[in-house]
Structure 1
Amino acid sequence: MQQKTIYLIRHGETDFNRRGVVQGSGVDSDLNEMGRAQAMAFFQAYQHVPFQKVYISGLQRTYQTVESFIELGIPYEKQTGLNEISWGIMEGKVPGNTDNEYYRNLIESWSSGNTALPTDGGESPDEVAARQKVAIDAILSRPNEETVLVAMHGRAMRILLCWLTAKPLAMMDQFEHSNLCLYKLRYEYGSNTFTIDVANDTSHLLTLALV
């Protein structure tokens, strides 16, 4: 049975991550110094993997995360369906007490099953999943690309992993993530199923703690 192996990573750290600023699809931030170091540590750990394609979102922090692989000559493709969720009017802000209550209520609503509820001025998890399916369909339509690297974003990754593994989106928060974490998935073309072999792995970043 033909398989596709997907190395799914979250982008490296940005200053917005470090400062706790809300960073959705409307914030096109750069990696900071730590984020670039994380990207290089991941590259050094996985440069031997024979990736046939690299997929990124439409936001530059994903391109910067995998730039070293692209510089090897590996072809890459931008899929805006992989973009982070739009947090609407909250983007670019450091949440205050009132905002924290808003987020708590929003996450509780999603966790209770109301994943059609959008952020204020932004997207719902259902809407994110719908655009992700277009991107994933494109990736899966190329079975000759047996091993691919996909760089995307935290909340979007949680939503993606939920529906790829046939779980309701209400369970998305069970998928933990951190900057430059790795999820490794296997897709079986015959059974149309995804299996997670590695989850939220950051062992490639251990070298950074020694610096």
Structure 2
Amino acid sequence: MEVVLLRHGTTELNKARKIQGSRVDPSLSEDGRAYAEKAAKNFDASKFDAVYVSPLKRAQETARIFVGPDIPIKTDKRLEELDYGDWDGKSSQEFKKLYPDAFDHRGLLTDNMYKYNKNAETRKQFEERLADFFDELYKKNPDKKILVVCHGVVSRMIVAHYLTNGDISYFDQMENCGLAKLHISNDQTSLVFWNRVLA
């Protein structure tokens, strides 16, 4: 199965450097939508056999921009971003000052977050729901080409699930509207490319 992961376009929360998980549901910003439309001109959605999308608005809007009005999309709640609990929608810069060890050198949250953020979805729970989705997807579509429109940490975790035993620290955050491609089979899963941008 060939899977292309597409991270959603930019929102105002992205620009404000706020934590954006599954409890916040902003639309694309004006410039985020404009960039998605520009990138989508270099994207051929017709080659995919199916399109699956997170139910959150930023992913739904990005998907529709990239695939157009006529290609059907299937929504699956398991593709939602990590649930950051009480940290969702809050300033990552403020938390970085309070809990510097919860962030890595790139400014990405690490598992040290869980020392301070007690009601966030655990990495294990997060990986399990994504693995459940992709296992089911592979059983139904072993020889198909699938587009999955989702989120930054979702993309990192699903690649980590297959390649690094769920350790997302190996993968940087993709750009908004960045693409990754996986080839998934029973024998071997390989990462074809990561963070490809179209505009």
Q: CA contact under 8 A between 2:86 and 2:120: conserved in structure 1?
A: yes
Identity of aligned residues (%): 25
Q: CA contact under 8 A between 1:117 and 1:125: conserved in structure 2?
A: no
Paired position in structure 2 for 1:6: 3
1:178 aligns with 2:175: yes
Instruction: Determine the C-alpha separation between the residues in 2 that align with 1:157 and 1:103.
Output: 25
Instruction: Determine the C-alpha separation between the residues in 2 that align with 1:135 and 1:102.
Output: 35
| Greater Cα shift, 24-33 or 36-45 | 36-45
Q: CA contact under 8 A between 2:179 and 2:195: conserved in structure 1?
A: yes
Q: Deviations over 1:70-119 (max 9, x none)?
A: 5353221111111111111111212354x1155543356x86x8898794
Describe how 1:49-198 pairs up with structure 2 within 5 A. 49-97=46-94, 99-101=95-97, 104-107=100-103, 119-143=117-141, 146-165=144-163, 167-170=164-167, 172-176=168-172, 177-188=174-185, 190-191=186-187, 193-198=188-193
Paired position in structure 2 for 1:31: 28
* Structure 1: gaps (5+ residues): 206-211
Paired position in structure 2 for 1:201: 196
Superposition CA RMSD, Å: 2.5
* Structure 2: gaps (5+ residues): none
- Normalising by the residue count of structure 1, what TM-score does the alignment of the two structures yield? 0.81
Instruction: Determine the C-alpha separation between the residues in 1 that align with 2:139 and 2:114.
Output: 28
Instruction: Determine the C-alpha separation between the residues in 1 that align with 2:189 and 2:124.
Output: 20
- In the TM superposition, structure 1's runs of 4+ consecutive aligned residues that sit over 6 Å from their partners are 113-118
Instruction: Determine the C-alpha separation between the residues in 2 that align with 1:48 and 1:27.
Output: 28
Cα pair distance change 1:6/1:26, threshold 3 Å = same
Cα pair distance change 1:161/1:103, threshold 3 Å = farther
**Pairs aligned (count):** 194
Instruction: Determine the C-alpha separation between the residues in 1 that align with 2:126 and 2:115.
Output: 11
